C-alpha cells in the first residue's frame, strides 16, 4: 500500500477521531440537559432530513470518486467535475422544494425540520466527493476539525437546557454551512468548477441512478428504525433508541475511514495493477478486523460502560439495545468491505442495487409485523437480519469475482482472538469493583492482549507493523 494511501488514512483517521470525540462530547452533554423527549424530537427530525440529503446527493459521491479516479487529463477532470456539480445542484433544488412541501406533515418536529432542511445546501457546497477524487484529504481534515471544535465550544457556551433544542439545531446547521462554503471557495485553487448545461446525462444518468437507488434503499433499512419508532412509538422511545444507535454510528464512522480512503485507489488498481489490488485488499480487511473485533466484543460484554459514559447513567433499555445492535455493526462493516472495495470497483452497482432493495423490503416487513408486539426491539431485529443478508450476498458475489483467495483466513484468524478479550474483561469484573476506571483499564488491556494474540498467530499486518516499528526505533537509537 503506497505512502500516499497511508498519509491519507492518517489524515482521515485524525479527522474522524476529532469528529467522533466532538460528537460524543456534544451528545453526552445534551443527554444531561435535554429530556428524552427532546432528544427524540431532534433524532426524529434529523432522521427525516437524512432521506432528503440522500435524494439531493443521488449516487454522486461513490460514482464521481470511482469514475474520476481513472482520469488523468486535467481538462477531462474539470469537465467531469462541473457536470457532476451541476447535476448535484439541480437534484438539491428539487429535494429542497419537495422537503418544504412535505415537512408540514411531520407535525411532531416541523420547526426543527425546516432548519435542518438547509443542510441540503451544506452538503452540495461541501464537495467532499471532489476533495476525495483529488485526494485532498489533508484539507478536508483540517477544515472539518476546526468546524467541529467551534461547534463543540458554541454548544457548551449557549445551549443550557432542554428548551434550547432549536438553538442547538440552528448552531449545528449554521456551522455546517460555513464549513461547506469555505470548502466550496477553497476547491477553486485546484480545479475550475462551473455550472454547465452540458450535463452529460447520457453518460452519467444511468450509473448515478443505480448507485442512488442502492444508497436510498440501503438507507431505508439503516434508518427505518428511528422513522418507525417516531411514527408509531413515542418520542421518549426514540430517545432511548437514539442513545444506543448514536454509539453504533460513532464506531461506524471510525470504520468508514478505510472505505473512504481506499475507494479511489482500489478503483484505479482493478485495471492498472490487479496483483497490487489483491495485496491492498488483504491489508484493508486486516485493518478492518483489528478495529472491528474488539469494538464488537466490547459492545456486547460492556454496553453499560458506553451508555454510562454517554449519559452519566446506566439505562437498562439502552444497554440491551446496544448489545443487540453490536451484531448489526459487525455484519454491516463486513458487508461494507465487500461492497466498497470489491463490488463497486468492479462496477457491480446493479447487483448492489438489487441487494439493497431486497434487504430494505425484508426490514420493512419485519418492522410492520413485529413492532406492535415487541416495540423498539423490532427495528433492532430487522436491522440485524437485513445486515446478515447484506453480508452473505455481497460475500458470495465477491468470492465469485475474485475466485479463490486467502481473505477468509484473515477473518477466521481475527475471530480466534474473541475469547481472549472476553476472558480479560471477566477477570477484571471478578477482581475489581465495576467502575468506569476499572472498566476502561480492562478494555484497554483486553485490546492489547488481542493484538498480542494476533502477533502470536502471525497476523501479517501485525507482523509487518511490528517489524517497521522495530526498525524505526533501532534507527532512532543508533542516531542517539
**Residue 142 CA, distance from chain mean position:** 19
The pLDDT tens digits of the residues spanning 98-143 come to 888 877 665 556 778 888 989 999 989 988 888 877 878 788 888 8
Distances (CA, A) of 359 to 255, 331, 356, 388: 22, 13, 5, 9
* pLDDT confidence band for 326 (50 / 70 / 90): very high
pLDDT at 473: 41
Residues 278, 266: Cα–Cα separation, whole Å = 9
With contact defined as beta carbons under 8 Å apart, do 356 and 217 qualify? yes
Residue 221 in grid coordinates: 433499512
More confident residue, 414 or 327: 327
Percentages helix, strand, coil for the chain (3-state, rounded to 5) are: 85, 0, 15
pLDDT, tens only, 226-248 = 778 877 777 778 878 888 888 89
Of residues 277 and 476, the one with the higher pLDDT is 277
CB atoms < 10 A from the CB of 397, how many?
19
Return the C-alpha cell found at 9.
488514512
Please report the pLDDT score of residue 1 as a whole number. Answer: 45
Contacts (Cβ under 8 Å, ≥6 apart) of 449: 420, 421, 424
* pLDDT (mean) for 252-277: 78
148-176 confidence digits (pLDDT tens) = 999 999 999 999 988 899 999 999 999 99
Q: Residue 132: which residues within 8 A CB-CB, separation 6 or more? A: 61, 65, 140, 260, 263, 264
Characterize 184-216 residue by residue with b for buried, 16 or more Cβ atoms within 10 angstroms of its Cβ, and e for exposed: beebeeebebeeeeeeeeeebeebbebbbbbbb
Cell numbers describing residue 356? 439493497
What integer best gives the mean pLDDT of the chain? 81
Give the residue among 148, 135, 130 at the shortest CA–CA distance from 63. 130
Amino acid at each position: 500500500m503506497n505512502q500516499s494511501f497511508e498519509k491519507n488514512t492518517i489524515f482521515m483517521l485524525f479527522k474522524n477521531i476529532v469528529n467522533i470525540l466532538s460528537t460524543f462530547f456534544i451528545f453526552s452533554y445534551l443527554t444531561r440537559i435535554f429530556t428524552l423527549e427532546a432528544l427524540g424530537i431532534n433524532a426524529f427530525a434529523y432522521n427525516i432530513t437524512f432521506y432528503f440529503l440522500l435524494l439531493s446527493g443521488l449516487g454522486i459521491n461513490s460514482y464521481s470518486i470511482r469514475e474520476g479516479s481513472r482520469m488523468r487529463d486535467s481538462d477531462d477532470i474539470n469537465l467531469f467535475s462541473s457536470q457532476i456539480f451541476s447535476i448535484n445542484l439541480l437534484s438539491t433544488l428539487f429535494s429542497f422544494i419537495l422537503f418544504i412541501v412535505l415537512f408540514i406533515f411531520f407535525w411532531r418536529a416541523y420547526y426543527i425540520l425546516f432548519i435542518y432542511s438547509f443542510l441540503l445546501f451544506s452538503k452540495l457546497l461541501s464537495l467532499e466527493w471532489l476533495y476525495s477524487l483529488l485526494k485532498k484529504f489533508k484539507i478536508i481534515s483540517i477544515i472539518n476539525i476546526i468546524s467541529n471544535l467551534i461547534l463543540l465550544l458554541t454548544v457548551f457556551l449557549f445551549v443550557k437546557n432542554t428548551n434550547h433544542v432549536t438553538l442547538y439545531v440552528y448552531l449545528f446547521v449554521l456551522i455546517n454551512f460555513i464549513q461547506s462554503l469555505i470548502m466550496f471557495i477553497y476547491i477553486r485553487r485546484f480545479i475550475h468548477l462551473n455550472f454547465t448545461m452540458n450535463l452529460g446525462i447520457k453518460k452519467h444518468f444511468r450509473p448515478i441512478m443505480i448507485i442512488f437507488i442502492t444508497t436510498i434503499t440501503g438507507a431505508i433499512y439503516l434508518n427505518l428504525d428511528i422513522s418507525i419508532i417516531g411514527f408509531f412509538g413515542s418520542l421518549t422511545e426514540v430517545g432511548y433508541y437514539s442513545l444506543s444507535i448514536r454509539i453504533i454510528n460513532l464506531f461506524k464512522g471510525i470504520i468508514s475511514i478505510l472505505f473512504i480512503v481506499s475507494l479511489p485507489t482500489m478503483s484505479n488498481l482493478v485495471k492498472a495493477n490487479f496483483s497490487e489490488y489483491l495485496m491492498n485488499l488483504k491489508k484493508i480487511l486486516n485493518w478492518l478486523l483489528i478495529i472491528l473485533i474488539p469494538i464488537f466484543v466490547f459492545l456486547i460484554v460492556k454496553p453499560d460502560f458506553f451508555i454510562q459514559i454517554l449519559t452519566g447513567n446506566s439505562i437498562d433499555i439502552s444497554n440491551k439495545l446496544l448489545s443487540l445492535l453490536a451484531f448489526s455493526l459487525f455484519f454491516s462493516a463486513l458487508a461494507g468491505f465487500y461492497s466498497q472495495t470489491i463490488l463497486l470497483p468492479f462496477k457491480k452497482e446493479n447487483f448492489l442495487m438489487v441487494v439493497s432493495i431486497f434487504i430494505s423490503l425484508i426490514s420493512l416487513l419485519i418492522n410492520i409485523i413485529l413492532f406492535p408486539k415487541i416495540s423498539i426491539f423490532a427495528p433492532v431485529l430487522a436491522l440485524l437480519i437485513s445486515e446478515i443478508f447484506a453480508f452473505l450476498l455481497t460475500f458470495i458475489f465477491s468470492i465469485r469475482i475474485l475466485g479463490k483467495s486467502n481473505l477468509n483466513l484473515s477473518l477466521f484468524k481475527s475471530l480466534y482472538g474473541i475469547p481472549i478479550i472476553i476472558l480479560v474483561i471477566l477477570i477484571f469484573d471478578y477482581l475489581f469493583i465495576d467502575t468506569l476506571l476499572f472498566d476502561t483499564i480492562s478494555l484497554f488491556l483486553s485490546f492489547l492482549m488481542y493484538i498480542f494474540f494476533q502477533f502470536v498467530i502471525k497476523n501479517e499486518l501485525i507482523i509487518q507493523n511490528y517489524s517497521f516499528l522495530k526498525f524505526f526505533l533501532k534507527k532512532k537509537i543508533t542516531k542517539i
